[in-house]
Amino acid sequence: MMKTLTLLAGALLGVTALASPLRIDVDARHDGPVLSRYLYGHFSEHLGDGLYNGLWVGPDSDIPTVGDGFRRDVVEALRELGVPVLRWPGGCFADEYHWRDGIGPRAKRPVRTNTHWGWVPEPNAVGTHEYFQLLELLGAEAYVAGNLGSGSVAEMADWLTYLTADGDHVLARERRANGRERPWKVAFWGVGNESWGCGGHLRPEHYADLYRRYATFLKAPPELAPLRIASGGYDALTEWTEVLARDVPKNLIDGISHHYYTLPTGDWAHKGASTGFPEREWIGTLARALALDEHIAAQVRVLERHDPENRIGLYLDEWGTWYDGDDPARPLYQRNTLRDALVAALHFHVFHRHAERVRMANIAQMVNVLQALILTDGPRMVRTPTYYAFWLHRPFRDARRLESRLRGVPRYRHGDLSVPAVDASAARAADGRILLSLVNLDPNRPQTLSVGLDGATAADHEAEVLTAEAMDAENRFDAPSAVKPRPLAVVQDGDRLRLTLPPKSVAVLRIRPSP
């Protein structure tokens, strides 16, 4: 009878069970570090139509809005997902942004040129007050990126004071005159962005000295003071982490940022297409997503040497896929497919593995730019496969990591590239459920898994899977539900669970253990 049920479970997914399933065993006896909710953070920059037209259309738009001009459909979709933190206003844009341009009556705000992203007019219609209104609409916390590249110490310090001062302070009075009575809480503050490149082309030693100066004057009431994040390196580069962890006094720094973008080819001149790509670019993308693990491990090793007390966190505040552009009229707009959902899930697993040091991660970006969760076209909106990868992993926020061991994992090979066919991450949710995130990287073959719990027995269980027939399956405006989570059959066989992962899939298994 059990064999029949197992075959039926496979048939429900249009696949057949394999004869020798691989095994995964989860240690439910020992809780590991907390998987911070901020590992599922977001990022929105003044870039293309990510902010304007994507998030904000203005109070006079025919598109339904909430607040002072934010798209109702987008805000509602993001509220359903849950946004723990939103980084703004950049990105490269942050180091040419002067915060006073974005306060006061909107009609009187200066129009400038966005020299980083297309030399287009920047109306400053979305500024400080609008950003914090968006946070309130989303229920998110603030991560402000300050202007070190072209701004002064006084300008950055005054912005934080404007946000957090109270009483009769001149900047508190100015904020009240602009419509906000109470101070805002600023959870995180970035001191510049990509200072090795668009943020000033600085040497790490020079930046470290500048950081010490800027951070000294970032002052706020203790209950409103942000954590201060230094601008770090990228990819495999460890020099910035080395210099900052060594040369900045520990009382001035709470974290170091790091950036990593996943390219199908690894070649910035010819990155690869977002759709219609060959299998070589499928495996190339996933292999480069997995490479993040060692890049982060290298940063962690540096931090362990200079900060054994584990005070300084690593903030991967820009990550995501980057393809050749899909629309020349929309800078960095790219279509989003099932492949992006797998990349997101693999990143979550990496963040979980390094949760002792990785305190935040912010996908680039929220709407209409790079690996977006939401795409818009005029009044139309669609949730992408990446959105649903985040959706499936909601229970992992603030869960505790559990160690797991995969055995018998086959390799997925294509040409000269090879990756493990399956990747996994386990945790215990706040409600006591045991969570297991699984990715089948192989686009051609299903994988049958036998799941065991050390120290617990499953009372009941449920699972969902995200998959599709094509590697580049996407949710289009005329077919918005092509790639969505659906139930995944799980069979209990004694003290183990059995399930079959379809090819190219992301699945999350939720297990309620017996009392």
Beta strands per DSSP E along 44-200? 65-66, 70-71, 85-88, 112-114, 120-122, 141-146, 188-191
Q: Are 334 and 374 in contact (CB under 8 A)?
A: no
From CA 371, how far away is CA 363, in angstroms rounded? 7
From CA 126, how far away is CA 130, in angstroms rounded? 5
Query: Which of 434-468 are b and which e, b meaning 16 or more Cβ less than 10 Å from the residue's Cβ?
Result: bbbbbbbbbbeebbbbbbbbeebebeebebbbbbb
- Cα angle 97, 98, 102; round to 5: 100
Q: Are 96 and 116 in contact (CB under 8 A)?
A: yes
| DSSP structural state of residue 479 | B
From CA 85, how far away is CA 200, in angstroms rounded? 26
Cis peptide before 365 (omega within 30 of 0): yes
Q: Are 256 and 230 in contact (CB under 8 A)?
A: yes
Can you tell me which residue has the tokens 């844009």?
A: 93
Let me know if 223 is a catalytic residue. Answer: no
Q: What 3-state DSSP class applies to 164? A: helix
Closest CA relative to residue 245, chosen from 199, 296, 304:
304
From CA 37, how far away is CA 399, in angstroms rounded? 8
Integer angstrom CA distances of residue 104 from 96, 118, 128, 177: 19, 26, 10, 8
Q: At what angle do helices 153-164 and 128-138 cross, to 10 degrees?
A: 50
Beta bridge partners of 141: 85
Query: Half-sphere exposure of 482 toward its Cβ, with a 13 Å CA cutoff?
Result: 18
Of 130, 194, 242, 474, the catalytic one is: 194
Of 45, 141, 281, 318, the catalytic one is: 318
From CA 366, how far away is CA 140, in angstroms rounded? 13
Can you tell me which residue has the tokens 């943020």?
A: 199
From CA 324, how far away is CA 370, in angstroms rounded? 10
Let me know if 318 is a catalytic residue. Answer: yes
Query: Half-sphere exposure of 275 toward its Cβ, with a 13 Å CA cutoff?
Result: 13
From CA 436, how far away is CA 442, in angstroms rounded? 19
Q: Helix/strand/coil (H, E, C) string of 224-256?
A: HCCEEEECCCECCCCHHHHHHHHHCCHHHCCEE
- Residues recognised as catalytic: 194, 318
